[in-house]
Amino acid sequence: MTDSQMTDSQITDSRMADSELYGKQGFGQSSGFGDRPALLIVDLQVGFTDPEIFGGGNILDAVANTQVLLSVARHCKIPIAHTKVVYADDGSDAGVFCLKNPALVQLTEDAPMSQIVAELTPQAGELVVRKTQPSAFLHTQLAAWLINKAVDTVIVAGCTTSGCVRASVVDSMSHNFRTIVAEDAVGDRATAPHEATLFDLSQKYADLLSTEQIITHLRQQ
């Protein structure tokens, strides 16, 4: 039986049972904040916010909440990195990821759909990571940049929750960064993978906090 075939009470009961099982096995502990956080905004590009291209679902809500979080991060002067999926004009760097969705090769450097949305336009001093794979860390300068800035905690916002956000969160933790997912500042084109991914990330790889909770912590530093 899928979620779409279950009643609301059955879904709630199933999720409570899942949480209880994970808890009994010791999952779901908090890694918390360290002393030096950074903000990582994953792939909030025009194409991923447009339902006619790669967007949909609650991604626009994620943009709005990320905008608030970004403003506070700038005020608090923490390191900020943005990522964007970008391929060569001739597609020469496209790999298996593009076999799963060939339209991704349209995300070239100058394509309008490749640009970071105007509300989140990077400022001087903020890193822009160009990537061809889901993870923000794979074959990029991100980890070295964070280490150079003595970062120990990575706050993650962006899209999609089940795709590039998930891959980036897992790799962030794998690089031994405490990792916080801004749960209302990440979005996906479909609800089921979004919610399932948040549950899984919270149990094994990251803490989930609202933008309000994260902002409160940043302002108290």
| Contact predicate 116/83, CB 8 Å | no
Please give the span between the terminal C-alpha atoms of the chain, in angstroms, as a whole number: 47
Q: Provide the β-strand partners of residue 190.
A: none
| Predicted pLDDT of residue 20 | 80
**Does position 112 have pLDDT exceeding 80, yes or no?**
yes
Domains and CATH numbers, the chain: 35-220 (3.40.50.850)
pLDDT per residue as tens digits for the range 66-97: 999 999 999 999 999 999 999 999 999 999 99
SS percent in the chain: helix, strand, coil, step 5: 45, 20, 35
Of the candidates 76, 98, 159, 164, the residue annotated as catalytic is 164
Per DSSP, the three-state class of 33 is coil
| pLDDT more than 90, % of the chain | 86
| Predicted pLDDT of residue 1 | 46
pLDDT per residue as tens digits for the range 36-61: 999 999 999 999 999 999 999 999 99
Residue whose C-alpha is closest to residue 193's, from 75, 57, 86: 57
| Predicted pLDDT of residue 43 | 98
Distance CA 88, CA 128 (A): 16
Question: How far is C-alpha 131 from the geometric centre of its chain's CA atoms?
Answer: 14
In this prediction the pTM is 0.92
Check the CA dihedral 151-157-207-193 and report its sign.
Answer: negative
164 is catalytic: yes
pLDDT per residue as tens digits for the range 139-180: 999 999 999 999 999 999 999 999 999 999 999 999 999 999
